[in-house]
Amino acid sequence: MRKLFGTDGIRAEANKYPLDGETAFTVGRAAAITLRGKRPKPLVVVGRDTRISGTMLCAAISSGLCAQGADVIDVGVVSTPAVAYITRSLDADAGIVISASHNPYQDNGIKFFGGDGFKLPDDVELKIERVMEETDFAAVRPDHGKIGTIKTNHALHEAYIDHLIGTVGEKIDLKDQIIVLDAANGAAHQLARVLFKRLNARIIPLGMEPNGTNINDGVGAVYPERMCHMVKETGASFGISLDGDADRLIMCDEYGELVDGDTIMAMCAKYLFERDMLQGNTVIATVMSNLGLEKALAGIGVRLERVSVGDRYVVERMRQGDFNLGGEQSGHLIFMDKITTGDGLLSALMVMRVIGDEKRPLSELASFMKAFPQTLKNVLINRKPPLEELPGVIAEIRKVEEELDGDGRVLVRYSGTENKARVMIEGPDQPTIEAMADRIVEQFKTALPLD
């Protein structure tokens, strides 16, 4: 069992264990030892988002790496997918991103990529933890001639942008497009400006003035309302909203209507399928993706396969089955034949390509998928036994499934981090599914009451 690493690296409140400077330094030392083997001195790429704690944590983990003999390339403020791409393109031993993604500025995180650009496997993260616990670092400290160095290289940002344009955007010209571009005051605020300027777009900026404490503060993919409002107010062609580390994309059409990750997956899958470019005629999504996505894809002969919640599990299944499109409703979208992780900017360019090739506005393209009304309710509980041990809950779930009769879906699961049960229902109309969810919630309250 890993103690520090969760499903997306180490994440906590900044300057408190385990996101304090001392622990970050030790993580760096342990990582340098764990990564040895490919070259005499491991090479590690380090990037961060715009949080006030980012420079402290970057300095600490980089110092730890160097103290144990690894060399560091510091690429500064840059998106998570950019670090993954740069790590792979340099054939580095690892990449590290200092970011808490869509969380508020008080939080931060440490996320590792392997030299292949994919997130480190669980067993490697566990090994880093064990090295931290078991190593007498004073006894294995290299002498003064073998310590590592830190080199700053922000020019690698351009290499990443070149990759995006060369892979997806070389035929895209946005000179007639007005785009509300929301960078969440985060990692891609400069990358996004440069990218869309090179594609000749006229940008209406939002969330482009980071100050260390305003990342994801009422802007970005988790808070797309301002983007939608600005599109309606300005008459823009559409809106693009990234999260703090720019691995998510949420959009809105020319009418200011939200276009979420499921809808983007649906329209991109249709585009790729019609051009015989969708590997395995399959899309990988999570159990949280809307039933409307499944039905829209089934209507054109494309299979939807669901995995557990988390882009890590989407990527795992895509790699196992050699599939090239997957993602989450939240906007983590993975185009595996183009990059190894979710990438909001690349996903936006894919949508631009669909719009350009189809010569239709985003509203028409998005109408391919009709989302089912959805509700998600959380209920506090005193423990988390297997659902099979809760006959009242199971009976109510079965009743609701019978009432939906194939025109909806029930998903009940426990939170991975809190004593909560999550009840998600999709169905024909909002009042009906709200009442159904309340019935299941009441069964949980009866079976697992709080003191």
CB half-sphere exposure, 74, CA atoms < 13 A: 18
Q: Residue 201, SS3?
A: coil
Whole-Å CA distances, 65 to 7, 19, 79, 83, 350: 23, 16, 21, 17, 37
In 3D space, the residue among 173, 160, 205 whose CA is nearest the CA of residue 355 turns out to be 173
Query: Which of 145, 154, 227 shows the shortest CA–CA distance to 191?
Result: 154
- Distance, CA of 372 to CA of 337 (rounded, Å): 30
Sequential DSSP letters for 252-276:
E-TTS-EE-HHHHHHHHHHHHHHTT
- CA dist 165 and 248 (Å) reads 18
- The identity of residue 60, as a single letter, is A
Which three-class secondary structure state does DSSP give residue 59? Answer: helix
In degrees rounded to 5, what are phi and psi of residue 183?
Answer: -100, 10
Element holding 249 (H helix, E strand) = strand 249-252
Q: Name residues whose C-beta falls within 8 Å of residue 37's C-beta, 6 or more positions apart in sequence.
A: none
Residues forming the active site: 101
Q: Give Cβ neighbours of residue 20 (< 8 Å, ≥ 6 apart).
A: none
Q: Report the DSSP beta bridge partners of residue 305.
A: 284
